[in-house]
Amino acid sequence: MHDPSPPAFLPCRIDGYTDLPPGKLANLVTYLEVTRPPPPRATVRPDLALVETTRDLEAYRALYRRIGARWLWMGRLALSDAALARTLSDPRLVSRTLLRGGDAIGLMELQFEEDGEAELAYFGLVPEAIGGGIGRWLMDAALAQAFARPIARLMVHTCTFDHPDAVAFYVRSGFRPYKRAIEIHDDPRLAGYYPHETAAERWPVVEG
Ligand SMILES: CC(C)(COP(=O)(O)OP(=O)(O)OC[C@H]1O[C@@H](n2cnc3c(N)ncnc32)[C@H](O)[C@@H]1OP(=O)(O)O)[C@@H](O)C(=O)NCCC(=O)NCCS
């Protein structure tokens, strides 16, 4: 396991390159929003169903890893059992698992806030389900569930490590990009959440 001891603040150049401390990754994050529910676009898929996500922490983490490993998702894995249980039982979180023929193939999570806003906190399919129209079906469901409540806007953010078509997919889904940020965080493989080989074809581990 990597022992990160970098400084808390990194002087970041506003133009040009900034070296990252060992064990860290940098994300270019794009924030997008949609303020009105766009019309549904997917074809009818009787083979797909959305069900409430399990509260079994290990089953949840297993699905999260199946979907997120390739994209180095870490957020939920970094939570302790108590914190993850609290998150999943938060009444403001709508977490749905996508089933095809009884198999879990996707995850969609909406976090509703008290100020009338909501965030599409997680949205993804297992790798073998990507690219066949299922993402569009899941997005229709996410938008319908989000705007079934009186929200002023639905936000999402996606980053460098997500699917390369994610921003374009969200734009085609009616979202408008409104902000970018750089996020510096631990490499989840060096932090012990995934094996070193995970996602190495796109992002090999750099050990410094
Ligand atoms: C983002 C993600 C859910 C999108 O799912 P996807 O399977 O790639 O998307 P789809 O194949 O459903 O949609 C892509 C387009 O192809 C079309 N399409 C492709 N195959 C199709 C088929 N067999 N039948 C109908 N439509 C099809 C879709 O209608 C859609 O067109 P549109 O955008 O113009 O409506 C998926 O890439 C993913 O899970 N990525 C990993 C996690 C991630 O990056 N999440 C986002 C960041 S948080």
Q: How far is the CA of 36 from the centre of ligand 1 (A)?
A: 21
Structural domain contains residue 154: yes
- Cβ atoms 188, 74 nearer than 8 A: yes
Q: How many CB atoms lie within 10 A of CB 3?
A: 8
- Identify the bridge partners of residue 93 per DSSP, sorted by sequence position: 111
Structural domain contains residue 208: no
pLDDT the model gives residue 6: 58
- Cβ atoms 59, 201 nearer than 8 A: no
Structural domain contains residue 4: no
Structural domain contains residue 111: yes
pLDDT the model gives residue 5: 62
- Cβ atoms 34, 169 nearer than 8 A: no
Ligand 1 close to Cβ of residue 105 (< 6 A): no
Structural domain contains residue 5: no
Strand ranges for 103-148 from DSSP E: 103-112, 117-125
Q: Could you say which DSSP state residue 116 is in?
A: S
User: What is the CATH number for 163?
Assistant: 3.40.630.30
Structural domain contains residue 196: no
Structural domain range at position 105? 24-186
Helix (H, G, I), strand (E, B), or coil: what is residue 115? coil
Domain count, the chain: 1
pLDDT the model gives residue 9: 83
Q: How far is the CA of 131 from the centre of ligand 1 (A)?
A: 5
Structural domain contains residue 3: no
pLDDT the model gives residue 2: 53
pLDDT in tens, 155-179: 999 999 999 999 999 999 999 999 9
pLDDT the model gives residue 4: 54
Which residue from 97, 138, 169, 183 has its CB within 8 A of the most atoms of ligand 1, so it is best to mutate? 169
Stretches in the chain below the pLDDT threshold 50? none
Q: Could you say which DSSP state residue 27 is in?
A: E
Q: Are strands 153-159 and 48-52 parallel, antiparallel or unpaired?
A: unpaired
Ligand 1 close to Cβ of residue 135 (< 6 A): yes
Which of 119, 123, 97 is CA-nearest to residue 110?
Answer: 119
Structural domain contains residue 168: yes
Distance CA 100, CA 126 (A): 11
pLDDT the model gives residue 148: 96
pLDDT the model gives residue 3: 54
Amino acid at 181: A
